[in-house]
């Protein structure tokens, strides 16, 4: 047998072996399409070797034309298979290029059988003999060249560009071994084969080109890398199997509840400890709907919101819920979830590992009940008394104070709603506390709520409470102020700031003593005395549509107007002495008296901030006092412009907003417009910083430049 015959038989054998081996690998691993493409490429190379051997040994022209026509079939299979091998194996090819190469080769193969003798020669005129270095004779065709072969050459060129591009992108991903062994060998041998084929077809190369030889080299390089990958995958698979075995043993032996649920919510696995705790058999659990069969009805809707079917990546990592045992007992379980993903990264199963916390929850419930009782007592103490003993003191030297005091004393004896009206800082809270202390509810809770200091979206839950799950973050039940004040008094300060939606709910409580917590349909019944306070003229707010008329008349059963300090100047001296005594104890000063000049300044000043402003002035004077005699600074409110001027004595026509605006501007100027912090405007005005900002915005106050 000739040298070239032996060589071709060896090449064909190698290609056939590679086809058989990798086709078997693909049969065992159907998802590895790169092995399928490689086996098809090896099959194409084997057939190309057979036809190439016939090609060089055929002396008959007609047989030669047929062999040339058939040779394009394995070449097509070979190149297209390698193209898609690069796509599946590298993962860096450009899809449009792979599709274009495939389309061009299909078109070329069709033209090979339709136009001329074959795709290479439009008309084959004859064969000429040539001799190899070993003396063997082979035949080379000549004739009229088929110009359509340029189409195939274009596909080959695009194929080279496609492989180079995919190899470079593979390098950039850091996979150097694949890029060097497979990518560059593909490029080198394809260029070699692409150069030899046309030189041989056109008679330029007077020796057998053996086009299948470079492809055999390509296949060997690809096979080495694929075999290496398969071996690594085999080792990894064995490691995964060992880990899964250890994991399965752990799940079976661990003294925790383990439940596997598929994407449709069906139980796929439970461990022995789960069966031991719940009393079920494995047949009674596996294949059943987890929520419908093993979760109490009252918890099903909440769980369905957290675990929408089919399951997706939004499954919570930790949660707790109750489950039903076979005997109908509810157990509270704390779960930790492990998501099992498929090859596409989608959830295919959730393994929930649970701890029985039933006993702990019962203990927590008792603790929570005691805690809520303590909260009521704590809030009652905290909100009933302001800092300092002066909070419950009422000075009644002036006629205006005596009249207001007498009204408060009379209404305290009866259980009716009281509406305290007056400017900011006149002491409405002091009167509310006094009414409670003089009433039959004296030994019960007194709670205060500033309706302007709490954001609107939180005020309803603060007043009426909420149930678990009423809104995002409601992880436990909370009692509202109405429940906490049951049997006592609830002081609603700044009632004019109450939102319209809550006005209707408050009206119902006033009428029937009934309400519902947020997220609950159960009606609560309370016995609470309401004392409301406002610095607004509520009747004007009713006319503007900002306040419900029916609620106004419910609150206005017994109105008391607390006079401003400018109308009760006889009380100023006594208030100054009272506040001085309180603050000198607080700060450790030794003050024995107040200067005559301080009394004069205080009596001439109109006090737009009322008693609260006087209190703040005395506190600042006590802090800065260096001797035994208290002296207050110059009160220059009379020098303000008309817009921010304090109300003159005896003037009743100035609007309440103007008075409030003047006082706020004055305090802001004193602290250089600082709202937060120690000695900030909010602290001096004794209001919440957010409330102060709201008032500044509403009154249109702006800092002068």
The CATH number that applies at residue 534 is 3.40.50.300
Contact predicate 469/320, CB 8 Å: no
Whole-angstrom CA distances from 348 to 259, 266, 300, 310 are 14, 12, 22, 9
Q: 245 in a domain, yes or no?
A: no
User: At 161, phi and psi to the nearest 5?
Assistant: -60, -40
Q: What is the domain extent for residue 8?
A: 3-233
Say whether both 632 and 555 belong to one domain.
no
Residue written as token pair 């006090």: 607
Residues 515 and 413 in one domain: yes
Please say if the pLDDT value at position 377 is more than 60: no
Q: What is the mean pLDDT of residues 540-567?
A: 90
Query: Does residue 269 register a pLDDT over 50?
Result: yes
Cα→Cα distances 394→613, 614, 623, Å: 16, 14, 24
Has residue 591 got a pLDDT over 60? yes
Confidence grade of residue 376 (pLDDT, cut at 50, 70, 90): low
pLDDT at residue number 246:
64
CATH of the domain at 319: 3.30.450.20
145 and 36 in one domain? yes
337 and 285 co-located in one domain: yes
Question: Is residue 431 in some structural domain?
Answer: yes
Angle (nearest 5°) at CA 332 between 328 and 336 = 125
Q: Is the domain of 552 the same as that of 579? A: no
Q: Rounded to whole angstroms, how far apart are CA atoms 194 and 321?
A: 69
Residues 544, 599 within the same domain: no
Residue 381 lies in a domain: no
The CATH number of the domain holding residue 617 is 1.10.8.60
| Tens of pLDDT, residues 472-498 | 777 778 888 888 888 999 999 999 888
Q: Grade residue 232 by pLDDT with cuts at 50, 70 and 90.
A: low
Nearest C-alpha neighbor of 219 from the set 35, 28, 3: 35
**CATH classification of the domain holding 28:** 1.20.1070
260 & 229 share domain = no
> CA 287 to CA 221: how far, in whole Å?
49
**369 lies in a domain?**
no
Cβ atoms 675, 681 nearer than 8 A: yes
In a domain, 42, yes or no: yes
Residue 648 has pLDDT above 60, yes or no: no
Answer yes or no: are the C-beta atoms of 418 and 411 closer than 8 Å.
yes
Residues 500-529 have a mean pLDDT of 88
Instruction: Mark which of 561, 590, 618 sits at the end of a domain.
Output: 561
- 331 within some domain: yes
pLDDT of 382 higher than 60: no
Residues 589 and 661 in one domain: yes
Mean pLDDT highest for which of 20-29, 230-239, 279-288? 279-288
What does pLDDT average to over the chain?
Answer: 79
Note the pLDDT tens digit of each residue in 423-473. Answer: 988 889 899 999 999 999 888 889 988 888 888 778 888 888 888 877 777
Average of pLDDT values for 285-312? Answer: 85
Q: What are phi and psi of 200, to 5 degrees?
A: -70, -40
pLDDT, residue 214, reads 61
Domain co-membership, 641 together with 515: no
Whether residue 220 is found in the same domain as residue 122: yes
User: Rounded distance, CA 70 to CA 238, Å?
Assistant: 45
**424-462 b/e with 16+ CB inside 10 Å = b?**
bbbbbbbbbbbbbeebebeebbbbbbbbbbbeeeebbbb
pLDDT over 60 at 412, yes or no: yes
Q: Tell me which of 216 and 78 has the higher pLDDT.
A: 78
Of 10-24, 114-128, 367-381, 470-484, minimum mean pLDDT range: 367-381
- Is 379 inside a domain boundary? no
Q: What is the reported pLDDT for 649?
A: 44
Average pLDDT (642-661) is: 56
Please report the beta strands in 415-542, taking only residues with DSSP state E, as ranges in sequence order. 418-421, 446-450, 465-466, 478-479, 489-493, 514-516, 523-525, 529-534
Residue ending a domain, among 561, 592, 618, is 561
Model confidence at 238, in pLDDT bands (50, 70, 90)? Answer: low
423 and 336 in a single domain? The answer is: no
Q: What is the pTM of this model?
A: 0.41
> How many domains does the chain contain in total?
4
Residues 338 and 416 in one domain: no
Confidence of residue 46 (pLDDT cuts 50, 70, 90): confident
Would 502 be classed as within a structural domain? yes
Domain closes at, from 233, 265, 293 = 233
172's CB contacts (< 8 A; 6+ apart) are: none
* Mean pLDDT computed over 100-114: 87
Would you place residue 353 in the very low, low, confident or very high pLDDT band (cuts 50, 70, 90)? confident
């Amino acid at each position: 047998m000739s040298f070239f015959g032996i060589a071709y038989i060896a090449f064909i054998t190698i290609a056939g072996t590679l086809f058989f081996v990798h086709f078997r690998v693909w049969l065992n691993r159907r998802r590895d399409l790169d092995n399928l493409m490689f086996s098809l490429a090896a099959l194409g190379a084997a057939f190309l070797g057979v036809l190439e051997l016939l090609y060089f040994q055929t002396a008959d022209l007609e047989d030669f034309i047929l062999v040339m026509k058939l040779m394009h079939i394995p070449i097509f299979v070979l190149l297209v298979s390698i193209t898609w091998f690069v796509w599946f194996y590298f993962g860096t090819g450009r899809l449009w290029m792979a599709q274009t190469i495939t389309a061009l080769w299909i078109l070329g193969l069709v033209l090979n059988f339709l136009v001329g003798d074959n795709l290479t020669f439009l008309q084959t005129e004859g064969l000429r003999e040539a001799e190899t270095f070993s003396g063997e004779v082979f035949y080379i065709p000549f004739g009229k060249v088929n110009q359509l072969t340029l189409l195939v050459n274009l596909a080959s060129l695009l194929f080279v560009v496609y492989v180079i591009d995919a190899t470079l992108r593979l390098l950039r991903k850091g996979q150097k071994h694949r890029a060097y062994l497979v990518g560059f060998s593909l490029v080198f041998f394809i260029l070699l084969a692409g150069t030899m084929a046309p030189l041989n077809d056109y008679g330029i190369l007077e020796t057998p080109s053996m086009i299948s030889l470079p492809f055999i080299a390509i296949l060997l390089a690809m096979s080495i890398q694929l075999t290496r990958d398969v071996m690594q995958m085999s080792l990894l698979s064995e490691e995964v199997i060992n880990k899964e075995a250890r994991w399965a043993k752990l799940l079976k032996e661990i003294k925790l509840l383990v439940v596997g649920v598929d994407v449709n919510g069906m139980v796929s696995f439970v461990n022995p400890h789960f069966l031991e705790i719940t009393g079920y058999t494995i047949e009674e659990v596996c294949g059943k709907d987890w929520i419908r069969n093993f979760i109490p009805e009252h918890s099903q809707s909440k769980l369905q919101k957290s675990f929408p079917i089919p399951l997706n990546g939004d499954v919570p990592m930790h949660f707790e819920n109750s489950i039903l045992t076979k005997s109908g007992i509810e157990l509270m379980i704390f779960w930790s979830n492990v998501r099992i993903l498929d090859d596409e990264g989608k959830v295919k199963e959730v393994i929930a590992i649970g701890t029985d916390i039933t006993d702990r929850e019962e203990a927590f419930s008792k603790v929570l009940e005691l805690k809520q009782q303590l909260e009521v007592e704590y809030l009652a103490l905290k909100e009933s008394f302001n800092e300092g003993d002066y909070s419950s003191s009422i000075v009644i030297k002036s006629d205006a104070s005596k009249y207001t005091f007498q009204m408060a004393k009379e209404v305290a004896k009866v259980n009716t709603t009281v509406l305290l009206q007056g400017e900011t800082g006149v002491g409405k809270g002091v009167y509310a506390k006094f009414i409670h202390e003089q009433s039959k509810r004296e030994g019960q809770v007194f709670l205060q709520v500033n309706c302007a200091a709490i954001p609107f979206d939180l005020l309803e839950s603060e007043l009426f409470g909420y149930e678990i799950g009423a809104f995002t973050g409601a992880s436990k039940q909370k009692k509202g102020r109405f429940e906490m004040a049951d049997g006592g008094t609830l002081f609603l300060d700044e009632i004019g700031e109450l939102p319209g939606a809550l006005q209707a709910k408050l009206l119902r409580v006033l009428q029937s003593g009934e309400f519902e917590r947020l997220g609950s349909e159960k009606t609560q019944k309370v016995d609470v005395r309401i004392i409301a306070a406002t610095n607004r003229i509520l009747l004007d707010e009713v006319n503007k549509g900002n306040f419900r008329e029916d609620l106004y008349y419910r609150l206005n059963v017994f109105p008391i107007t607390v006079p401003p300090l400018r109308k009760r100047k006889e009380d100023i001296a006594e208030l100054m002495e009272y506040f001085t005594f309180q603050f000198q104890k607080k700060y450790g000063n030794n003050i024995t008296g107040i200067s005559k000049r301080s009394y004069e300044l205080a009596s001439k000043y109109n006090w737009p901030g009322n008693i609260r402003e006087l209190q703040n002035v005395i506190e600042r004077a006590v802090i800065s006092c260096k001797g035994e005699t208290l002296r207050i600074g110059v009160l220059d409110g009379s020098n303000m412009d008309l817009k921010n001027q304090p109300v003159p004595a005896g003037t009743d026509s100035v609007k309440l907003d103007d008075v409030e605006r003047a006082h706020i501007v004055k305090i802001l100027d004193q602290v250089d417009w600082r709202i937060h912090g120690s000695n900030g405007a909010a602290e001096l005005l004794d209001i919440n910083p957010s409330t102060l900002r709201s008032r500044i915005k509403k009154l249109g106050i702006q800092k002068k430049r």
